[in-house]
Structure 1
Amino acid sequence: MKILKVKNEIEAGKLGSEIILDLVINKDKPVLGLATGSTPISTYNQIIERTNSEKIDWTNVTTFNLDEYKGLKPTDDQSYDFFMRKQLFDHINIKKENTNIPSGSISTNEEANKYDELIAAKGGIDLQLLGLGTNGHVGFNEPPADFNSLTSIVNLVESTIESNARFFAKKEDVPTQAISMGMKSIMSAKKILLIALGESKADAIAQLVNGKVDPSWPCTLLQNHKDVTIIIDEKAASKL
């Protein structure tokens, strides 16, 4: 596990974008796993800036997003499909057919598992970008996490609903379920890049780095992955 400490969100985004773009530039037909939420926005902004200034080609890149709210259509402005188009896809020359996001209309886990089959058919994810929940969740794998889980329908815990309520008009509008890559899905990526920012992530980072592997802190499973890079700012690193 490689830990890279930076001063702030801008530095985290710069470093994150460099790692991702190195793969895009140097690998033939790279497959990226992407994340949503406030954490990766700085990374996406700097990816867009460099892509346009250096004319970096995304036409051979395939992406798979971690998750989507159950019940939201791609046109809903709080869906992760909408988020990805607004924050990244509409600003680079990636092919829409190469972007994959779990469907919010999935109704069974058998249907959700097909997402893993699609990832495998593309050769697996070369680099998976992750954020980190205050309770240690990655994707929407809430504690206690099933470490053998594949993409499935998951229930969101109260702390996650409260955290995400800031993106909605009111808390009652936040979906209570999502479709998320499972822990086994995430661990299948060849490389993992996790970015965590702010004091609210300090407990989870302390568990990830110094704790034992424990389903009550889902992120701790990453200790068993052979290639993990963690980018954290000073506040997120405050309990190390």
Structure 2
Amino acid sequence: MEVIIAPEPELSTLVADAIERLVREDPSPVLGLATGSSPLSVYDELTKRHEQDGLSFAKVRAFMLDEYVGLPASHPQSYHNVIDTEFASRVDFAKGAVQGPDGTAEDLRAASAEYDHAIAEAGGVDLQILGIGTDGHLAFNEPGSSLSSRTRVKTLARQTRIDNARFFDDDVDAVPQHCLTQGLGTILEARHLMLIATGGHKAEAVHQMVEGPVSSMWPATVLQMHPHVTILVDEEAASRLQLGDYYRHIYANKLEGQRL
């Protein structure tokens, strides 16, 4: 696990750099897209590179982490609509190239299995963007989730709904209670995981994720088991890290071939 501590604009640039290299060098790249506030500046940076430098996503496939159950794709806060608004429609993805779990499916269990199958059929995710919840949840894998879980229906914790109420006019009751989410086991199959966290409210979750024991109580700690994880945090989110100075030293003294 690599930990990079830097100001937020630099974090977004580093993620965008990694995605640009993948998109330009791989003939059929597969991205994993996250919603929430953490990746928005990354999507803005990639859109700028598309408009100004000709970075094309025409051959890229992408899979979303999760979706609310019961919200139609046209709902402003459905993740299908959010990803389309914030990123997909701003660049040149081919029609149908960006997929998400079907939260309106009649058979949610079958839809979950079909989604995992679709990811596998695409060759798996090359680079997955992630955020982390204040309680350590990853995607919508709440505390107590199986560390080997697959895409499935989850009931959202009260804290998660409170955190997401800002997207629903601060109305907690308007936030759906259920979702379809990639499981932790599904996420771990991506070849490179890049997680962005900013702000002091994420500090404890970041500390547990990076330095705590692997535990379902803090689902993001499962990332310690992955061979290629990059954690990108600002100073506030890094404030609880006991080895913060060490992580800064490592990053400042990497060999050229070890850079992202």
Counterpart residue number, 1:5: 5
Counterpart residue number, 1:21: 20
Poorly superposed stretches of 4+, deviation over 4 Å: none
How much has 1:132 moved relative to structure 2? Answer: 0.4
How much has 1:172 moved relative to structure 2? Answer: 1.0
Report the Cα distance in structure 1 between the residues aligned to 2:108 and 2:36, rounded to whole angstroms. Answer: 25
Matched, 1:32 2:31: yes
Counterpart residue number, 1:151: 151
Matched, 1:113 2:108: no
Stretch of structure 1 that moved more, 138-147 or 103-112: 103-112
How many residues align structurally? 239
Matches within 5 A, 1:123-142: 123-142=123-142
Report the Cα distance in structure 2 between the residues aligned to 1:237 and 1:52, rounded to whole angstroms. Answer: 33
Matches within 5 A, 1:58-97: 58-97=57-96
Question: Residue 17 of structure 2: SS of its match in structure 1?
Answer: helix
Report the Cα distance in structure 1 between the residues aligned to 2:92 and 2:111, rounded to whole angstroms. Answer: 30
In the alignment, structure 1 segments of 5+ residues that lack a partner are none
Report the Cα distance in structure 2 between the residues aligned to 1:44 and 1:182, rounded to whole angstroms. Answer: 24
For residue 111 of structure 2, what is the amino acid of its counterpart?
A: E
Report the Cα distance in structure 1 between the residues aligned to 2:180 and 2:53, rounded to whole angstroms. Answer: 35
Tell me the TM-score normalised to structure 1 length: 0.97
Residue identity over aligned pairs, in percent, reads 39
Report the Cα distance in structure 1 between the residues aligned to 2:167 and 2:108, rounded to whole angstroms. Answer: 27
Question: Residue 75 of structure 2: SS of its match in structure 1?
Answer: coil
CA displacement, residues 70-115 of structure 1 (integer Å, 9 cap, x when unaligned): 1011100011111111100111011121110111213432321110
Stretch of structure 1 that moved more, 113-122 or 9-18: 9-18
Matched, 1:193 2:194: yes
For residue 233 of structure 1, what is the amino acid of its counterpart?
A: D
Matches within 5 A, 1:155-170: 155-169=155-169, 170=171
How much has 1:49 moved relative to structure 2? Answer: 0.3
How much has 1:11 moved relative to structure 2? Answer: 2.2
Report the Cα distance in structure 2 between the residues aligned to 1:182 and 1:32, rounded to whole angstroms. Answer: 17
Report the Cα distance in structure 1 between the residues aligned to 2:98 and 2:108, rounded to whole angstroms. Answer: 22
In the alignment, structure 2 segments of 5+ residues that lack a partner are 242-260
Counterpart residue number, 1:223: 224
CA displacement, residues 118-171 of structure 1 (integer Å, 9 cap, x when unaligned): 000011111111000001111100001111211101000000000000110311
Matches within 5 A, 1:170-189: 170-189=171-190
